A and B are shown apart, each in its own frame.
Chain A
């Protein structure tokens, strides 16, 4: 017979559900086709009914087995009754006569399945290394006796699904946590269980979980060593989709089986149900599981997310291993946010967010919420939508292990740096670059390996440290080689250690390397590293312009002026990433860095710069430096910040620009008002000893307070109020000291303002809001139209004119 039956037909037959003629045809086919026979035999072995039947019959095929076993083990064990059958043999209960404890003895009968004894024993040896309270221990292996045996811990317990019936969710989760701990340990050792089901997870009477029967557990192979096709093994209801297709099995397959177990523990039913094996497999491959909370409303939402995450069809979307599963479950237990973000929930969430965002923009237009509130909502929704991979969350979490990791990597980098910043006279010159290169090599190799093995939490830290170590290594090598020859354009920045040329080469090396890693890893951490490398490289370039000389001579404003260039470039790049390429999470760190560089530079220019010459207005000889420079240049900066803030605030497309605008609006008032405060002496003095700045300061402060209204700017409001107080204090000191009428007048004026605000609250508000609303409508007419028509069914609202 040439045409083999389909997998589903074979499954139906194996379950004893084929019709009479079909069964006869199939039996004849099996007579001839060794491949189908193999598959059907496997299916038979995993058939749930057959497994249950095997468990209830006594071992009768080899009556002498028990006798022979008793003879073989007479000195050590008192063999009692049969416990059941595993994939590789029969298991007996026995008592260890020396230690007086119960054990389970598995008698291996490998000839049945063609598995080599050596292979089974090798697996058992791997398992024997595991010493975990939740993994059934292996006490002894004996492949030399007449009957090969494995002596294991005896577990007297119930299957986990039966043991937790009627328990509350919290206790069930605690039990499941033990299961995860056990499987995480297996995965850590490179072992995939492949047959996780309640029957293999027992809970003893003390409530301790034991994972057992590693009959088909095997070390997970490298992908290229898989021999296809692998027939599906395991109990169908707990098979992962990839196992059911015979694809290579990875730890994530165990995660799926565990997800099914968790689902069953929580809800009392299986997520994928079918009348036959074929239907069950079909459901596993295609059907969405029901939402656990619909079956049992007291299941918390995060726990549901965790369960569904484990049940993802695509193994890449599941937890990669039991450890990640465990970490997330522990987050849930300790009340932290979980990272599980299953596709099923995500779809539901996306729809809800879309609806809500539409509502939000409508509310925003109706001025029910401010722009800032609108932004912050959008921000949160964005975060929900593009939740980063969970290793990112893991690596950002300041846990003990993460701190240790950073500290360790940082120590390596610092050690490499020591080679650079001391002369080490007793060390041969070639030895100096050796340590930095070793540090770089080890960190980079380990980091890359871990990154590819999906232990990204650790990998990213090591690769970042390696990126810091690379320029150090390059610099150390160049020092050893005494290359390149000096151009002698300017004094060396770091004279005696490193020439400018060497600094430039090393910095450029680090810059390019970080750029490459940014492209490869595509993580926002590397946009930060790359930004830093760019600033360092810019510094190396500036050394040729005479950075050291300028600095030494006190021309700090000139140096600061140079740094405006990289700051502006970073800002432009961040804006391009944000607005053009929509890579918002890469743009964030660059925005922050560029703003810091620009603000620091501008402040340095304002402070150290030749203010008076620039404006050419007044001569301030003899005044202290702070007063002399702080005046006009700081005010100029304030105006720049104000303009930048206004520009950023107008950007409806970028939340980051709006956020920067907020920072600018906090900086601007002080930059404008503090100089006015110091402007006292040089301006025209009015009659009676009054000066212009004295009058301007309170007016300007009040102007800022009122300017806060249209855009709801708390920065203006609070700064203005603060400087109102400062200016009143100064006026009092100069002109009204000892005059009681002044505070009384202030109090009366204050009370009058209060009265106006109380009795005529709409005096200004209406005017302002009318103007603003007109603008908002003009800005977004299209969106407005979308909501203009009342929806169908909205016409029920009672109309006052009908009364």
Chain B
């Protein structure tokens, strides 16, 4: 099944807004194994999330990538066998469960490997046991970050490049408004206007996006 994912990734998105699909829509589209766009979208959404969670839990890059790959593959398999039952839970809850399981699994393997080959520099920190509930908390944290990233992307498609740039420089890069105005060659009030508009739009988008994910 992994090859579907790989193809999906390389097949890529069409640069289209992702908010158009709620997770229900996405699941509907995934019913067709040949729908590469849908699978690409799925991969784009959830692979970075699992990766980030695994990294934050102390797995090294390679282990984290394994965890992400195994999680997505497990989902594809479960879905194709009809084991994922939509009414029983949300997609994100299902994925979270799978991811937690995989991360723990890889940690255990890594611990075993570490016993045999100690003192590798880039080791997965297996000594620290992950307390119950910790993975879930990390998952929620990373997921909310992913949603925010998605909001930023969405807004970028909606507003003019100059407006977004003004917002980016002042709100995200913390430039002083004056410096941003000078840099973009616009007046100060336009900078403030842009910043306000984008922030306002993100505030509107956030609950929708959170629901869609």
Contact = CB atoms under 8 A, between A and B. Distances in A.
Interface of A: 13, 15-18, 23-24, 26-28, 30-31, 37, 40-41, 44-45, 47, 49-50, 52-57, 59-61, 85, 100, 112, 156, 158, 162-163, 165-166, 205-206
A345 B33 CA distance: 63
A156 B146 CA distance: 20
B201 to A, nearest CB: 8
B203 A31 contact: no
Nearest to A87: B174
A205 B188 CA distance: 46
A94 B133 CA distance: 28
Contacts of A24: 193
Interface stretch (B7-15, B77-85, B165-173): B165-173
Contacts of B149: 56-57
B173 A61 contact: yes
Given A44-B171, A49-B203, A165-B133, A31 B187 contact: yes
A61 B169 CA distance: 7
A47 B167 CA distance: 14
A381 to B, nearest CB: 44
Contacts of A112: 174-176
Contacts of B90: none
Contacts of A166: 132-133
B177 A41 contact: yes
A24 B196 CA distance: 9
B162 interface: no
Interface of B: 56, 58, 121, 125, 128-130, 132-134, 137-138, 141, 144-146, 148-149, 152, 168-177, 187-190, 192-193, 195-200, 202-203, 206
6 contacts: A41-B176, A53-B152, A60-B168, A112-B174, A112-B176, A158-B137
Contact of B121 (A57, A59, A100): A100
A61 B173 CA distance: 7
Given A16-B199, A50-B199, A158 B138 contact: yes
Given A37-B177, A60-B173, A206-B128, 13 more contacts: A16-B195, A16-B196, A18-B196, A27-B190, A40-B192, A49-B206, A54-B174, A57-B152, A85-B174, A158-B134, A163-B134, A163-B137, A165-B137
B58 A156 contact: yes
Contacts of A13: 196
A183 B116 CA distance: 42
A163 B172 CA distance: 27
B126 to A, nearest CB: 11
A274 to B, nearest CB: 15
A113 to B, nearest CB: 8
B192 A27 contact: yes
In the A-B complex, the 6 residue pairs with the smallest Cβ-Cβ separation, listed nearest first, are A16-B199, A205-B128, A61-B173, A27-B189, A16-B200, A31-B189
Contacts of B168: 57, 60
Contacts of B134: 158, 163, 205
A31 B192 contact: yes
Contacts, number: 105
A28 B189 contact: yes
Contacts of B174: 45, 54, 85, 112
B34 to A, nearest CB: 33
Nearest to B141: A162
A205 B189 contact: no
Contact of A27 (B171, B172, B193, B199): B193
A47 B171 CA distance: 9
A57 B141 CA distance: 15
A166 B136 CA distance: 11
Contacts of B138: 158
A163 B148 CA distance: 22
A49 B202 contact: yes
Contacts of B170: 44
A50 B175 CA distance: 13
Contacts of B176: 41, 112
Contact of B130 (A17, A31, A54, A205): A205
Contact of A17 (B133, B193, B203): B203
A27 B186 CA distance: 13
Contacts of B130: 205
A748 to B, nearest CB: 77
A15 B199 contact: yes
Contacts of A100: 121
Nearest to A23: B196
Given A112-B175, A205-B58, A205-B130, A16 B203 contact: yes
A13 B129 CA distance: 45
A610 to B, nearest CB: 85
A49 B189 contact: no
A273 to B, nearest CB: 17
A26 B196 CA distance: 10
B175 to A, nearest CB: 7
A94 to B, nearest CB: 14
A612 B193 CA distance: 106
A49 B177 contact: no
A534 to B, nearest CB: 64
A49 B174 CA distance: 13
Contacts of B199: 15-16, 47, 49-50
Nearest to A88: B174
Given A16-B196, A100-B121, A205-B130, A30 B173 contact: no
A56 B198 CA distance: 16
A100 B119 CA distance: 11
A17 B200 contact: yes
Nearest to A15: B199
A55 B145 CA distance: 8
B36 to A, nearest CB: 28
Contacts of B56: 156
A464 B137 CA distance: 55
B121 to A, nearest CB: 7
Contacts of B197: 16, 23
Nearest to B204: A16
Contacts of B128: 205-206
A61 B175 contact: yes
A50 B171 contact: yes
A158 B141 CA distance: 9
A762 to B, nearest CB: 67
A48 to B, nearest CB: 11
A141 to B, nearest CB: 22
Nearest to B169: A61
A56 B141 contact: no
Contacts of B171: 44, 50, 53-54
Contacts of B141: 158, 162
B145 A31 contact: no
B172 to A, nearest CB: 5
B123 to A, nearest CB: 11
Contacts of A45: 174
Nearest to A204: B128
Given A50-B171, A53-B171, A53-B172, A27 B121 contact: no
Contacts of B133: 165-166
A85 B175 CA distance: 13
Nearest to B129: A205
Nearest to A158: B137
Given A53-B152, A53-B171, A165-B137, A23 B193 contact: yes
Contacts of A41: 176-177
Contacts of A59: 173
A45 B195 CA distance: 12
Contacts of A15: 199, 203
A165 B133 CA distance: 8
A44 B195 contact: yes
B175 A31 contact: no
A555 B196 CA distance: 95
Nearest to A30: B192
A100 to B, nearest CB: 7
A435 B29 CA distance: 93
A665 to B, nearest CB: 63
Contacts of B173: 59-61
Most buried by A among B129, B174, B176, B197: B174
